[in-house]
Amino acid sequence: MPELPEVEVVRRGVRPHVVGRRIVSEAVSGQRLRCFPSRRMLRETLRGRRFEAVERRAKYLLFVMDNGAVLVLHLGMTGRLGIFRADDTIARHDHLRLLLDNGMELRFNDQRRFGSVQLFASAKELNIFFAPLGPEPFSEQFSAPYLAAKGAKKNQPVKNFLMDGRVVTGIGNIYASEILFKAKIDPRTPAARLSPAKWKRIVESCREVLARAIEQGGSSIINFVDLSGNSGYFQNELLVYGRGDEPCAVCGKRVQRIVQAGRSTFFCNKCQR
């Protein structure tokens, strides 16, 4: 589920609940996630530590602790974070619970277990892990010339190119379709065939679509909710995603659904060339 906007909404929601608080104890489900630190590692690194900051890189949430360690969460497709009272009922798929020094508990729930939990001892270790990642969409480095250079020899469809975290981070299956609709570019176009002007439209559309989605609290397609359990609103503004066979909002022609690299892509073959 969560792409950049949803992860950013979660970050903004969780930050005021944890920064300045100390971790009293940790509890885990024992269920297998994509990555999960050992109980011992969790205890030794986190117990008694205070949260100093909550940051985001790509679709990862970074909890920076006062000992320099960083707890890194990835929400996968169905991951959620919530703040609960310690005596609130534990839900199915609550995989990590961190009891805070104010009696509240930060809980990470992930139904499909595609999410991950990682611990890094320092920012240096973290940087090694993040080294392969491309730039953030809102960074200066992310520009039309950058994309043109990166895509110069790629025959890969531009939609899949944009979803590659080594190219640019945070764009997933929903926003890739929305961004290309806004930029009026056919998602099947090989990256190498895009003109500088089209790359420029892509960069602008990325920023506009993602910024608007953050403003609207993200998109709730199946189960995304923020820290307070509220849905986002951006799903109401999705122009093509999930609208196969519906009329295009701009020209009225039917929106197409195709499959690219195993994922659904939605687009208007009249508006997007």
- Nearest CA to 93 out of 110, 73, 115, 114 is that of 110
Collapse the DSSP code of 98 into the 3-class scheme (helix H, G, I; strand E, B; otherwise coil) and give the result.
Answer: strand
Catalytic residue among 3, 6, 8, 105: 3
187 flagged as catalytic: no
Q: Is 77 in the site for DNA (CB under 7 A)?
A: yes
DSSP string, 4-26: HHHHHHHHHHHHHHHTT-BEEEE
Task: Indicate the residue among 94 and 105 with the shorter CB distance to DNA.
Answer: 94
Q: What six digits make up the tokens of 270?
A: 């009249």
Torsion of CA 238, 244, 247, 248, to 10 degrees: 50
Enclosing H/E stretch for 42: helix 39-46
- Residue 273 annotated in active site: no
Task: Note if 57 is an active site residue.
Answer: no
Stretch that binds DNA, among 19-27, 71-79, 194-202, 246-254 (CB under 7 A): 71-79
Given the rule CB under 7 A, which of 12-20, 39-47, 96-104, 151-159 is the region that contacts DNA? Answer: 151-159
Nearer to DNA, 5 or 23 (CB): 5
Contact letters (x/-) for DNA, 164-183, by CB under 7 A?
-x------xxx---------
| Catalytic residue status for 184 | no
Could you tell me if 186 and 195 are in contact, meaning their C-beta atoms sit under 8 angstroms apart?
no
User: Between vectors from CA 124 to CA 119 and to CA 129, what angle results, nearest 5°?
Assistant: 60
Q: Does 74 bind DNA (CB under 7 A)?
A: yes
Cβ-based nearer residue to DNA, 14 or 191: 191
Q: Which is nearer to DNA, 184 or 257 (CB)?
A: 257
